[in-house]
Amino acid sequence: MRVVYVCSLAAGGPLTHMLELAPRVANAGCDVAVVCATEEIEEEFRRRGLTATVVPFRHKLDLRSATGAWRPLAGADIVHTHDRRTGLLARPQARLHGAASVHTMHGVPDEIFGLVGRNDARLPPGVSAARAAWLLHGLLRIEGALARLGTTVVPSAALRRFLAEHGFSESRLHVIPNGIELRRTEPTPRHEPVRVATVGILEYRKGVDVLIDACARVASSLRLDVFGDGSLRTELEGRAHRLGVAAVFHGEVANVSERLRDVDIFVLATRGDNLPIAVLEAMAVALPIVATRTGGLPELVHEEKTGLLVEPDDAGALADAIGRISGDEDLRLRLGRAGAARVQDRFEAGAVARRMVELYRQVRAEA
């Protein structure tokens, strides 16, 4: 069975997921090729033993560039797309080639992400009711219709429920979580001061402003490491300075999982998410998690077992959770070990790849 993966992103969770998934699908016996965004990504896939081709899908209507994918898709049994642009531009080509189409929907637009998994979420500042209505009842309905061209994979049950409520065929939605390689089962001894880290794009949805406010309230000394970049970086750096938070903004880094080995607690203060790769990467190095109760995070972080969950936008509760773990070494170690065990049991990359291959066989048989 020949599987061609297509992703137009140069960074982020979907690309990280594909880097973990594609080589393991090849190890499971499939003939795997990749269509990707840049020469650097192409080289990374080649280092992992896969054939890769660069096709820069620049925007959702970039039909001219999309024709560059026609030849790499030839002969595919499965075309698996991983972002909105390739979902729009590569799925129809897959059908013309006679291939079965699989699309992983990693999330929804940022303006409505906070609505996934919650009934009480508010729209972000500046997002009008009209804009939200278009996204919920226009864009999602269009994407739901397009999804009928094939099969849609979602990483969380929360996102599956949300999409089924907004025009997607429930029978075509399959929950297969993101996978990760377990890298460590034992937390390191605690640093002094305690090192707290977060990973994500520096935009409103990720709630780094709330995390900085929370760190300023923690009584014990700590250092905050922020991995990622975005339009709010300068504003967030200024906020940390004004509040006296010892924060280091690292920007985009090549291998976040290696950086997380030197951290004590991982925090994701997101206002809306699905099943974040960053949390999986932290659990895979045995870090305790503090995260918000939104999207698929409660499916990933088990309260009081692998981490602590708080409400979005609650800096006080976030500070209490960080302070509790940083002040209780037994709790920190217990949560970290349990998180690593959960990765091994539920999110191990090889097992996730085998589940995906079974889905490919199913949809190919039904095509």
State pLDDT tens for residues 297-346. Answer: 999 999 999 999 999 999 999 999 999 999 999 999 999 999 999 999 99
Q: How far apart are the first and last CA of the chain?
A: 14
Report pLDDT for 159.
96
Task: Report yes or no: 274 and 205 within 8 Å, Cβ to Cβ.
Answer: no
pLDDT of residue 62 exceeding 80, the answer is no
Report pLDDT for 135.
94
pLDDT of residue 52 exceeding 80, the answer is yes
Ranges of CATH 3.40.50.2000 domains, the chain: 2-179+349-366, 194-346
* pLDDT one-digit tens code per residue, 15-25: 999 999 999 99
Rounded to an integer, the average pLDDT of 34-55 is 95
Architecture, CATH, for domain 2-179+349-366: 3-Layer(aba) Sandwich (3.40)
Give the mean pLDDT of the chain. Answer: 94
Look up the pTM and report it: 0.91
Kindly report the number of other CB atoms within 10 A of residue 261's CB atom.
Answer: 13
The DSSP call for residue 119 is S
In terms of Cα–Cα distance, which of 71, 9, 67, 13 is closest to 41? 9
The string of DSSP codes covering 207-221 is -HHHHHHHHHH-SS-
How far apart CA 291 and CA 298 sit, in angstroms, is: 9
The string of DSSP codes covering 1-51 is -EEEEE---SSSHHHHHHHHHHHHHHHTT-EEEEEES-HHHHHHHHHTT-E
Q: Which CATH superfamily is domain 194-346 in?
A: Glycogen Phosphorylase B; (3.40.50.2000)
